[in-house]
Chain A
Amino acid sequence: MVAYYYLAMDKVFKALADETRRQLLDRLHADNGQTLGQLCEHLAMTRQAVTKHLVLLEEANLVATVRRGREKLHYLNPVPIHEIAERWIGKFERHRLQALSDLKRNLESSDE
């Protein structure tokens, strides 16, 4: 139980510890359900390199895929990130943390 849990969490942190993979997640967050071709469009990388990153993201369960006809669509799966947050954020902290991040966002955007 414990080993399985930590192994899964290791994969998530390793997958997130890379700028390109975070970029891929950002792109799916902005537009969920993209093909490999669509994901490659704005990245200065070969298809093979992007495929490798997507495989790591899928193994970490951060990306889920669905077949639609001949296409394979990639979806952001935030469930493991949610589990990580649940682990360290206490029951009564959530609202205070939300208030802090709203404050930060407001102050930072008013500088512009």
Chain B
Amino acid sequence: MNKPSFVYVTYIRSTPEKVWDAITDIKISGQYWGGGCHRNVSDWKAGSKWEHQRNDESGVADVVGTVIESKRPGRLVITWAAPSEAADPEKTSRVVFEIEPHKDDVVRLTVTHSELEPGSDMLRGISSGWPLVLSSLKSFLETGKVVPK
């Protein structure tokens, strides 16, 4: 296995269940992800499809993939691809969410993104995207406020 492309860590004053739900719940993810522009949709069972949809009536998916491993609230593994490239294993990457109690009432969330194609648009998009998503998630869970896009 190649080494991961990115590893992002954030500490959130919350519970593992709330962090899990904020990532996976269609209504909660739609409130902060990309300033409320996107939502995550799936039943989050291993083998199911998941979609990162525009948070409007169109529901167009901008990222799609398969749920590989799903253990609420600790570990979620999904594949990640642009819908037009989803059939191409070379262009399909992999995201692991690890949610673990840190200390007191603080949770450590680690997002590991691997198998990204070097030089791809997806790689460029990802490297500016995750820090924004994670700081929005943290701010949403801790203060209820949404970081503007």
Contact = CB atoms under 8 A, between A and B. Distances in A.
Contacts of A73: 3-4
B7 A75 contact: yes
Contacts of A61: 9-11
Contacts of B134: 79, 82
Interface residues of A, number: 20
A66 B96 CA distance: 12
A43 B135 CA distance: 32
Contacts of A77: 7-9
A79 B12 CA distance: 12
Contact of B135 (A8, A65, A66, A79): A79
Interface string B114-149: 000000000000000011101100110010000110
Given A66-B112, A82-B135, A86-B135, A75 B142 contact: no
A83 interface: yes
A68 B7 CA distance: 13
A68 B4 CA distance: 10
Nearest to A8: B11
Interface in B1-17: 1, 3-11, 13
A96 B29 CA distance: 29
B131 A66 contact: no
Interface of A: 1, 4, 8, 32-33, 61, 64-66, 68, 73, 75, 77-79, 81-83, 86, 91
13 contacts: A1-B13, A32-B6, A33-B7, A61-B10, A61-B11, A64-B7, A64-B110, A75-B7, A77-B7, A77-B8, A78-B131, A79-B9, A79-B134
